[in-house]
Amino acid sequence: MMDALEQRLAAAPVVPLIGENDPARAVKTTQALADGGLSVIEVVMRSPGAQAGMEAILDQTEGLIVGAGTVLTLDQAKSVVASGAQFIVSPGLVDEIARYCIDEGIPFFPGTMTAGEVQRAYALGLRKVKFFPASLAGGVPMLKAFSSVFGEMRFMPTGGVSAANLPDFLSVPSVIACGGSWLTPANAIDAGDYAQVTALAREAVDIARKARG
């Protein structure tokens, strides 16, 4: 049976990354993405204000699934979960974060780019991983090779995904969703052009519908 996150991703398999330091801008960006049809949001923990931004999003929006990305340590994982993160994404695979998330029932997408990493994630009990950095780690051919041996694994390619290659990544059946920052361009947000963010989200939703039928 699909969980809530899987159901959302089945409907729109695209996860935009929010890299804002300013919580008010993080909320506006999220609203613009939601207006365009994307409801699973990853807030990356790369700036001092990022976690406050995630909290503001959780506080001021409704009906979205909001997770924390670029989570590097177990303490950070615990902290973002205490702030309300509904899923966790990491650039790599740290076993103690995986075990914590499994125990807490929090979906966890660790970055993987080798068969050994995917196998370690599998052995830990995970069935969903990030594939990162997707374009440099072998792209679609690598995903197909992984899928032929890891039949139960689902992948979230992130890193170098754009509207141009989104159809190719989504054509791989084991791809649960694609993640990326192309939906939240800093120049548009700096200019207050949230309409552009909504347009990019809509475009991604349209591409996904066509790719997935």
Q: Which residues are catalytic?
A: 42, 130
Closer by beta carbon to ligand 3PG, 37 or else 69: 69
Assess 79 for contact with ligand 3PG (CB under 6 A).
no
Query: Rounded CA gap, 101 and 141, in Å?
Result: 30
By the 8 A CB rule, do 89 and 17 touch?
no
Write down the least CB distance from residue 138 to ligand 3PG, Å. 15
In a 13 Å sphere around the CA of 172, the CA atoms on its Cβ side amount to: 27
- Closer residue to ligand 3PG in complex, CB, 146/169: 169
Query: Binding of ligand 3PG at residue 179 (CB under 6 A)?
Result: yes
Q: Which stretch binds ligand 3PG (CB under 6 A): 51-59, 79-87, 143-151, 155-163?
A: 155-163
The stretch near ligand 3PG (CB under 6 A) out of 98-106, 118-126, 152-160, 204-212 is 152-160
Contacts with ligand 3PG: how many residues (CB under 6 A)? 13
Per CB under 6 A, does 132 bind ligand 3PG? Answer: yes
- Rounded Cα distance between 122 and 191, Å, is 43
CA separation for the pair 82, 76 (Å, rounded):
10
Q: Which residue is nearest to ligand 3PG (CB)?
A: 180
User: Of residues 37, 67, 139, 180, which one binds ligand 3PG by CB under 6 A?
Assistant: 180
Tokens coding 96: 């103690």
Among 60, 160, 193, 209, binds ligand 3PG (CB under 6 A): 160
The CA R_g of the chain, rounded to the nearest whole Å, is 16
Q: Does 158 sit near ligand 3PG (CB under 6 A)? A: yes
- Contact region with ligand 3PG (CB under 6 A), list: 48-56, 100-108, 169-177, 180-188: 180-188
Q: Report CA dihedral (25, 61, 56, 108) to the nearest 10 degrees.
A: -100
| Residue ranges of E strands in the chain | 14-18, 40-44, 65-69, 88-90, 108-112, 128-131, 154-157, 178-180
- Which of residues 9, 15, 17, 71 is near ligand 3PG by CB under 6 A? 17
Q: Tell me which residue of 167, 81, 149 sits closest to 157, measured CA to CA.
A: 167
Write out the residues near ligand 3PG by the rule CB under 6 A. 17, 44, 69-70, 132, 158-161, 179-182
